[in-house]
Amino acid sequence: MLKSPSVHARGSQIIRRSSTISSGKTCKARRSGQSASKSSLSTAFEGAIVNLFKSYYGTTNDVDEPTVVICTEDMIDKLSYVCDPKVIFVGKMPLTSEVVEQAIFRNCPIDDTTVNALIGCSVEYKTLTVLRLEFCNLSAEHVSTIANNLHNTRISDLSLNGNTADKEQNFFLLLEKLRLKNLSLKYCSINSEGMSMIADKLSKPSGTLLVLNLASNMLYDEGAEHAARMLRSNRTLLSLNLADNKITDKGCKYIMQSLVEFELLPDEVYFKRKRNYEKLKSVLNANLNPSEEVLPGEQIAAKKSPPKNMIKEKSSGSLARRGSSKSKDKSAASVASQTSSSQNAMLDPSYHPFINDITEDHQTILCKGNDVVINLNLSYNSIHKEGANVIVDTLKQQQCFFPTNRGLLRVTTDGNSFHAYCPSEVNEIEEILLQKARKMRGSINSVRSGSGQKKSGSKVSLLPSIKT
């Protein structure tokens, strides 16, 4: 006996109740509130939903509460007051296969058949960009299947919260093959080994991932060290959530050191020298053999860079013309030197902070630090006064050496012991972030007034929309 969902309308949402079908009879639609006809759902989409959950309905007992819900995005948070759905489809009404935007599974055990059906639907529905499989008992094989088959879809927001994947720590495959912008892996039992493999995939300056949520795992200080190693070279990640990971002052220090100027480690110096050697070799080969391939961006750089004597001649002739505009040129140069590292990483494939963002002092090579991460969540860890002081020092250094709109704009530290015993450090952290927010608001208002735009009464958002 197979169960198929019937349609039940409630306001702007359509709730599909699990009901029994026998002798091939179809379910009747029950309506309350605003009427919603079944014809609003396309026939193809109806069949896809039934096929997608065929295995689940075949093994589920009759329940009173709705199992599958189809609704608009503004109704997601209100569903808990109405029912406890296992599966949610989110889109625009009337919902058809052309407007499905999100597929959400919660506390719904998934087997191989359902995973394959879901992948098929993701490929077919080009508007589906958000996929959440939370507490679905996914195995390591399921994670591998998702990573291998979702690369042909438009999924950019993926959540696998609550799936331990048999504790095989293969979540790094998702970063290897998918072009995600938001990845959430809460409650996935990720340890330092799993974090090390994730850090390896995210250590490149360029990438697509903007938000990474690793809350409530088992990283400890060893995992925090791997996260810091990732932040030393990654220049696209905007938000990192490491809440509830048993991180102490030691792990906090690892992370904060990557967000300010730091000294290159021996292996990083070796990488820098190797890249410089390869760059020089490719440029020489390009000059000797123009038909041979060179590293991305190197041939362009070689063509654009004129001889040094030509630069001197041009500069000597132009200095006389500049005259009093010398100070303006200096300010322009300072602005150019503060160009967003994330923009460099996206626009120039050959960009790397260990090569482009360094200063050499005697035998020490210093990198300016990660100024791209703007949101860091360290809540509910084991950070004490020493770690709080490190956070304060980091924020002060960023305030001095980074532009106003660069560096940390939000730091969440609730649930750590220093909140109760070190109120002065807590107040100092909040004050520094508030000062930065005020400066940003002032710069936004000055830009508006300079462009002649009228100031509206609405509040200005100083932070991009980030899921934590």
> DSSP letters of 218-233?
--HHHHHHHHHHHHHH
Which residues sit opposite 410 in a β-bridge? 375
Is residue 67 within 8 A of residue 18, CB to CB? The reply is: yes
With a threshold of 0.85, does the pTM exceed it? no
Q: In CATH terms, is domain 2-21+29-189 a member of 3.80.10?
A: yes
Residue 303: CB partners within 8 Å, gap ≥ 6?
A: none
Query: Among all chains, which residue has been given the structure tokens 């200095």?
Result: 319
Helices 249-257 and 385-401 sit at what angle, rounded to 10 degrees? 10
Question: Which is it for the CA torsion 249, 255, 260, 263, positive or negative?
Answer: positive
Rounded distance between C-alpha atoms, residue 251 and residue 224, angstroms: 5
**CB hemisphere CA count around 73 (13 angstroms):** 9
Helices 192-202 and 220-233 sit at what angle, rounded to 10 degrees? 0
Query: Among all chains, which residue has been given the structure tokens 């200005």?
Result: 460
> Measured in whole angstroms, how far is the alpha carbon of residue 173 from the centre of its chain?
16
Q: What is the DSSP letter of 73?
A: G
> Rounded to 5 degrees, what are φ and ψ at 16?
-105, 115
Q: Which pLDDT does position 21 carry in this prediction? A: 23
Is residue 95 within 8 A of residue 41, CB to CB? The reply is: yes
Residue 323: CB partners within 8 Å, gap ≥ 6?
A: none
CA-based nearest residue to 379, from 239, 247, 255: 247
Q: Which pLDDT does position 83 carry in this prediction? A: 60
Query: Among all chains, which residue has been given the structure tokens 């625009």?
Result: 92
Q: Which pLDDT does position 433 carry in this prediction? A: 93
Task: Spell out the domain ranges in the chain.
Answer: 2-21+29-189
Q: Which pLDDT does position 426 carry in this prediction? A: 94
> Quick one: tokens of 385?
């006064």
CA-based nearest residue to 49, from 101, 5, 113: 5
**CB hemisphere CA count around 101 (13 angstroms):** 11
Q: What is the pLDDT along the chain (468 residues), one digit of tens a residue?
A: 333 333 333 333 333 433 322 222 223 333 333 333 333 334 444 455 555 554 444 444 443 344 566 667 766 666 665 566 677 777 766 655 567 788 888 888 888 877 887 887 777 777 889 999 999 999 999 999 999 988 888 899 999 999 998 888 999 999 988 899 999 999 999 999 999 999 999 998 888 999 999 999 999 999 999 999 999 999 999 999 999 999 999 999 999 999 999 999 999 889 888 888 888 888 888 878 766 555 555 444 444 444 444 434 444 444 344 444 444 444 333 334 444 555 565 556 678 898 988 898 878 899 999 999 999 999 999 999 999 999 999 999 999 988 878 899 999 999 999 998 999 999 999 999 999 988 887 766 666 666 555 444 444 455 555 665
Q: Which pLDDT does position 288 carry in this prediction? A: 80
Rounded distance between C-alpha atoms, residue 88 and residue 108, angstroms: 11
Which residues sit opposite 16 in a β-bridge? 7, 68
